[in-house]
Amino acid sequence: MFIVKKTVDCILKPLSYIFNLSFISGVFPQKMKTAKIIPIFKNGDKHMFNNYRPISILSQFSKNIEKWFTIKLDSFLEEKNILFDYQYGFRSNRSTSAALIHFTEEVLAAIDHSQYMVSVFLDLKKAFDSVNHELLSKLQDYGIRGHVFKWLESYLQNRQQYVQFDQLNSKHETVVCGIPQGSIIGPKLFILFINDIYEATKRMGFLLFADDTTVYKSGSDLDTLLSCVSTEMANLKKWFDQNKLLLNWEKNKYMIFGTRKIEGNINITIDNSRIERVTKITFL
């Protein structure tokens, strides 16, 4: 990138020509579809693959063309009001603070009506890597067609990646699913992929921040409320299964909000998988 920055005045015109030709033809340049994967050691035994975090490095030119495309895509999605209103991740004028305020208001509203609120916090395993190319049919349903659809199809298909470790490179392999990590457009494609999640159940509220999903429901009778939540969570799991997304059962949690003391052990179980209850919050 040092050379690119120093020569930007010279390459700007041909680069603009390549980008415009890509959009007009609906073809993403193949040379920009290769990712270099660098494993970064986290902790533990250095001989265990699971103790490394893969970092994906893409072509800088790829990121430039994606920025250009994402600006136009954002404009279309907002104009047509396509995205779920309570999706706060990777959107303009949305933030974690806004999501937290929304959730706090829901809790206070339940307490004001002398109700309990049960909230389930869901975590996905390798969310971006698990997205399959069923995404393309969803994009068509949202009205993304013509050259724009063709360009996105070209962007996702026939991608390559290789691993670099200690100056050694593996052979190139074709990526058969997933959204490119480290990309500019990837997060936007992911929230489009899960955009219809709220249709899985009409009896619970949703609050989304990219792949972090919170579902909640309020009610006066705790036993009835928990029974309803368990039933609706089973319906929600069907949606995850249909979309080939895996829940991380070790990190899935739920909480019960209310002003009355809760006695005994209370569990929420979905398809024989138990969700652990959070009983204590520590404020730092």
Tens digits of residue pLDDT in 166-188: 889 999 999 988 999 889 999 99
Q: 3-state SS string over 63-132?
A: HHHHHHHHHHHHHHHHHCCCCCCCECCCCCCCCHHHHHHHHHHHHHHHHHCCCEEEEEEECEECHHHHCC
Pairing of strands 116-122, 212-219: antiparallel
Judged against a pLDDT cut of 80, whether residue 282 lies above it is answered with no
**In this structure, what token pair is assigned to residue 139?**
């994009």
Residue 280 binned pLDDT confidence (cut-offs 50, 70, 90): low
Average pLDDT across the chain, whole number: 91
pLDDT (tens digit per residue) in 55-94? 999 999 999 999 999 999 999 999 999 999 999 999 988 9
Judged against a pLDDT cut of 90, whether residue 269 lies above it is answered with no
Residue 262 binned pLDDT confidence (cut-offs 50, 70, 90): confident
Indicate whether this model's pTM tops 0.85. yes
